[in-house]
Amino acid sequence: MAATIRDIKEQTGLSLATISKYLNGGNVLPENRVKIEAAIKELHYEVNEIARGLVTNRTRTVGVLVYSVESIFIGTLLRHISNSLRKAGYGLMICDSGDDPGIEAENVSFLLNKKVDGIIVIPVSIKTDSLEMARKAKVPVVLLDRPSQDAEFDCVRIDNRRAAYQAVKFLLENGHEKIGVICSHTEYTGKERYMGYKEALEEAGCALRDEYCAAGTHSIEFGFEGMSRLLSLEDRPTAVFMTNYEVALGAVMALNKTRIHCPEDISLMGFDDLIMSHVIHPRLHMVVQPMKEMGEKAVELLLQRIGSREEQMAMEIVMGTRISEGDSVARVEG
């Protein structure tokens, strides 16, 4: 059996209270501090977090609820979240919702049952009914990547619409007028990014052509299909905006199946700088979100909420994005 605080008591002759106080960073006479530290070392003592949790009602564990653990985007975010949490001594309990709001709700209740101190969620949708239980239980929740419809929860995200707007504007500034888009019309980020695309075109007085918009899901499959569709058009676009990482992967594969070259024949603008970017030639121009900072901020905000007793107003942290330039956008003459 592992050593307990009681063994330390025997070893040092001090009382439980004193030892506990030391363990929690309280002030203890130097000589006692030395004794305790020696005993801890000798007995390989480590605090039993479970017992501590029972009395403090804190488990030093946070739940992380993601819409799909298979997504590369999520994987990257997860790495940063996990690192930050570890640094703070917190563990993370992961739940995969499999893109299903019903499972998401079940997972919330599971996590509450596990008595997590807080929950970071990358939600399936902006309808966040599934999170009501957490609110009732007064367990802090921080949304990541996607906000809730009514801004009732803290959220860390980017301004998807503006990011897309800037990306398309970049294409416009390079003389492109026939700009296609491959996006998702089933998810929040995809829809927002489409709106940004639309606004940029409208502002520039460009006609919005239905056939230039390939709307499906944020998946490699659809990226492939969408790009194939755009390329087969009689009057095909001179530039294409791909609204997420998976879409861009599939789209580039589709392009590579053809004789059409980037950037000579067609310009490309992607979203999210993940592993692929080091592989694709030419290097893609793309919108970059600060993944690391987003993960860290979400953790920071959550821990802050966990730390403060009183409830506060929900807040949104909107991170900036930038366009990383590659070699995939050509200048065309109007």
> Of 87, 127, 257, 322, which lies in the binding site for a copy of itself, with binding defined by CB under 8 A?
257
CB closer to DNA out of 57 and 232: 57
- Smallest separation, CB 254 to a copy of itself (Å): 8
- Smallest separation, CB 54 to DNA (Å): 4
Q: Which H or E element spans position 138?
A: none
Residues 6+ apart with CB under 8 A from 54: none
Contact 164, 197 (CB under 8 A): yes
Binding mask 50-69 for DNA (x = CB under 7 A): -xx-xxx-------------
> Of 87, 114, 127, 322, which lies in the binding site for a copy of itself, with binding defined by CB under 8 A?
114
Q: How far is CA 52 from the centre of its chain?
A: 31
Total of chain residues touching DNA, rule CB under 7 A? 28
Name residue, tokens 């008591």: 9
Name residue, tokens 């390329």: 231
Q: Is residue 275 involved in binding DNA (CB under 7 A)? A: no
Contact 176, 332 (CB under 8 A): yes
The DSSP output letter for 276 is G
Classified as helix, coil or strand, 208 is coil
Q: Which stretch binds a copy of itself (CB under 8 A): 3-11, 73-81, 188-196, 325-333?
A: 73-81
Task: Give the closest residue to 70 by CA, choosing from 299, 279, 246.
Answer: 246
> Of 110, 135, 177, 324, which lies in the binding site for a copy of itself, with binding defined by CB under 8 A?
110
CB closer to DNA out of 31 and 210: 31
Q: Is residue 207 involved in binding DNA (CB under 7 A)? A: no
The DSSP output letter for 153 is S
Q: Which H or E element spans position 241?
A: strand 239-242
Q: Give which of DNA, a copy of itself, none residue 14 binds (C-beta under 5 to 8 Å, depending on kind).
A: DNA
Task: Give the closest residue to 236 by CA, choosing from 271, 217, 197, 262.
Answer: 262
Q: Which stretch binds DNA (CB under 7 A): 21-29, 106-114, 132-140, 166-174?
A: 21-29
Q: Is residue 314 involved in binding DNA (CB under 7 A)? A: no
Q: Which stretch binds a copy of itself (CB under 8 A): 169-177, 278-286, 311-319, 326-334?
A: 278-286
CA atoms of 36 and 18, how far apart (whole Å): 9
- Smallest separation, CB 232 to a copy of itself (Å): 14
> Of 7, 96, 152, 300, which lies in the binding site for a copy of itself, with binding defined by CB under 8 A?
96
Q: Which amino acid is at 125?
A: S
Q: Which stretch binds a copy of itself (CB under 8 A): 74-82, 149-157, 168-176, 179-187?
A: 74-82
Residues 6+ apart with CB under 8 A from 252: 223, 227, 268, 276, 280, 284
Buried b or exposed e, range 69-89, using 16+ CB within 10 angstroms: eebebbebbbebbbebbeeee
Q: Is residue 221 involved in binding a copy of itself (CB under 8 A)? A: yes
Q: Which stretch binds a copy of itself (CB under 8 A): 11-19, 93-101, 139-147, 204-212?
A: 93-101
Binding site for a copy of itself (CB under 8 A): 2, 46-51, 53-54, 59, 61, 68-72, 74-76, 78-79, 82-83, 86, 91-96, 98, 110-111, 113-115, 137, 219-221, 223-224, 246, 249-250, 252-253, 256-257, 275-276, 278-281
